Amino acid sequence: MLFSRPSDTALYDALLNRDPNWDGQMFVGVTSTGIFCRLSCPARKPKPENCRFHETAAECLSAGFRPCKRCKPLEHGMEPLVADLSARLNAEPGRRWREDDLTALGLDPSTVRRAFKRQLGVTFLELARLRRLQEGFTALGGGERVIDAQLTANYDSASGFRSAVSKLLGLAPGAFRDDALLRCAPISTPLGPMIAIADDHALHLLEFMDRKALPTELKRLSERTPGGLGFGQTKPHASIVRELDAYFAGALSAFETPVTLSGAPFAQSVWRALQDIPMGQTRSYSQIAEHMGRPSAVRAVARANGANQLALIIPCHRVIGADGSLTGYGGGLHRKRALLDLEQRAS
């Protein structure tokens, strides 16, 4: 962008004042509702700790937020073509759009694709699918039955909905049970949507939804858990949502939500060593091995680090290469850098 991004405090003041000068330049995602708005939105204002500010609508969508139906952030300040189709999508969020539908409107699908990619970062058809799937998955996370979530997402085909959810989670909705002890729920964060799995007592998994290993992790967790997995929320879900909000606001240095560590004794000892790394600091694999009294176990430490299923809580993002490079991170190097920057500021 061509302007310097102001502080969140200044942006929140603009939100309270419904300042139209920021329309099209900044958006606010509200974690308590899962909605994103223009700063001039006339809706009731959220608490500051529930606000996440983004520079583009695409960032809001990638973070798991849905567009507000009052201020219609996808339609403001857009090219006429993008604004018109966005309005149509908001009017029929469950419609199954195809290229033939665009042709029937007298539009060239390739022109539409380029225009949406240029202004929103996603194509129109991708945006339409994402909107429908978000609605369905949110319904599942709220405890609705699979058939109800399918209807909420306006999927005409049960197999189509199962296929979409399977692609996202690696498990079909039918694999999730109503009587399961472990419950899955989505969580919106400034760095993208996460999924949390917990029983009534502890959190078992916390991962970014686009992590490539997530489907394998969910399948493994389902297979080793009597009764499999279900959708819904428990007390640990509510706890981790509150703590994540505080963490991303720079007001939390240690998580206290109870967790269950599922791994071999050595892996668990590595994860505990990771939790010993102070916020704002980093360690190399060799330094962790030395800290554990196992200086020759560098590769084993690296494998255990990669097997962590509790992102942020067990801070594997604080591990860097011996030469200071970021090295790999399951959530993506862009997130690793953002997390380290956040923690350095907070500390």
Residues annotated as catalytic are 37, 316
**DSSP label of 282:** -
Question: Are 149 and 140 within 8 A, CB to CB?
Answer: yes
3-state DSSP assignment of residue 189:
coil
Q: How many residues does the chain have?
A: 347
| Cα–Cα distance for residue pair 187/195, rounded to 1 Å | 6
DSSP state of 310: B
Could you tell me if 204 and 150 are in contact, meaning their C-beta atoms sit under 8 angstroms apart?
A: no
Amino acid making up residue 12:
Y
| 43/65 Cα distance (integer angstroms) | 16
Note whether 124 and 116 are within 8 A (CB): yes
- CA dihedral sign, ordered 114, 334, 60, 90: positive
* Dihedral over Cα of 304, 218, 94, 36: its sign: negative
At 322 the three-state DSSP class reads coil
- Structure token pair of residue 136: 């369905």
User: What's the rounded Cα separation, in Å, for the pair 198 and 181?
Assistant: 8
Instruction: Taking the CA atoms of 134, 136, 140 and 144 in sequence, report the sign of the dihedral they define.
Output: positive
Q: In the block, which residue shows the tokens 């223009």?
A: 38
